Structure formats: C-alpha cells, structure tokens
Amino acid sequence: MSKLFRFGVSLDKDLLDKFDRLIRAKNYPNRSEAFRDLIRKELVKREWQKAAEIAGAITLIYDHHKRELLNKLTNIQHDFQNLIVSTQHIHLDHNNCLEIIVVKGNPKQAQKLADTLKAVKGVKYGTLSMSTTGKEIK
C-alpha cells in the first residue's frame, strides 16, 4: 500500500460550505474521501483523453419491434468486436429492451461505438459511462 500524505487546503468559507453540503448529499464519510473521489474523477477524465486503454459501459434503451433495429445494432457491434467484452440484454417490458455493452480498449473507439449505436434510428436513449481499467488509480 502507498504512503498516506496529509496536506492543507485553503478555501473561502462559501466554497467550503458548498463542499460540505455536497459531501452530506452524497453521503461521503468525510472531506478526505470526497476530495479523493474528485481527484479520481479528474484522473479518469484524463485517461479518456490520453490513455491507450480504458473501460466503460454503454447502455441502450430501444424498442425491439422497430424494423431492422436489432440487425443494425448487431452489425455495428461486430464491427467493434475487439473492443466489446460482453453484452447483456434485458427485456424491460413487451416492447422495450435494455442493453449493456461493456467495453475495454481505445477510448476514441469506445466513444465512436457509443455515438454510432446511439445514432441508430429507434434507439430511445443511450449513455456512455466512462470508467477506468483501474491500473492508473489507487
């Protein structure tokens, strides 16, 4: 385990009050953990801009009755097969499906896959959760 360092942070009262409200709203046990999370978030953001390998998840909501939609989504995923780790399909109700596509690899490719899938006609909603392989973060 790496060594723990302490350092002081100067903040004006207003900003600190806002930070403390945020900490309470998000149920952080203390300021240190909230601060660490903010740093990690920025590091992950940077990984998505700079790193060679990231991990993440694309979530799609769509109506599987839409003509050709399933074929299109499958064809796109085959074009990105090196990037996709796994896909989970959940039948939400009679019409709607939720699909979670786990990706690991080049961040630009992951963004491109997410954009391409979201742009398919019939996809109601799509998100890309930018995460990390964890290698760069303690």
Applying CB under 5 A, the residues found at the interface with Ni ion are 64, 91, 97
Least distance in Å: CB of 64 to Ni ion? 5
Q: Which single residue brings its beta carbon nearest to Ni ion? A: 97
Terminal alpha carbon distance of the chain: 9
Of 45 and 91, which CB lies nearer to Ni ion in the complex structure? 91
Of 53 and 63, which CB lies nearer to Ni ion in the complex structure? 63
3-state secondary structure string across the chain: CCCCCCCCCCCCHHHHHHHHHHHHHCCCCCHHHHHHHHHHHHHHHHHHHHCCCEEEEEEEEEECCCCCHHHHHHHHHHHCCCCEEEEEEEECCCCEEEEEEEEEECHHHHHHHHHHHHCCCCEEEEEEEEECCCCCCC
Least distance in Å: CB of 89 to Ni ion? 6
Of 62 and 80, which CB lies nearer to Ni ion in the complex structure? 62
Least distance in Å: CB of 74 to Ni ion? 13
Of 90 and 119, which CB lies nearer to Ni ion in the complex structure? 90
Least distance in Å: CB of 85 to Ni ion? 20
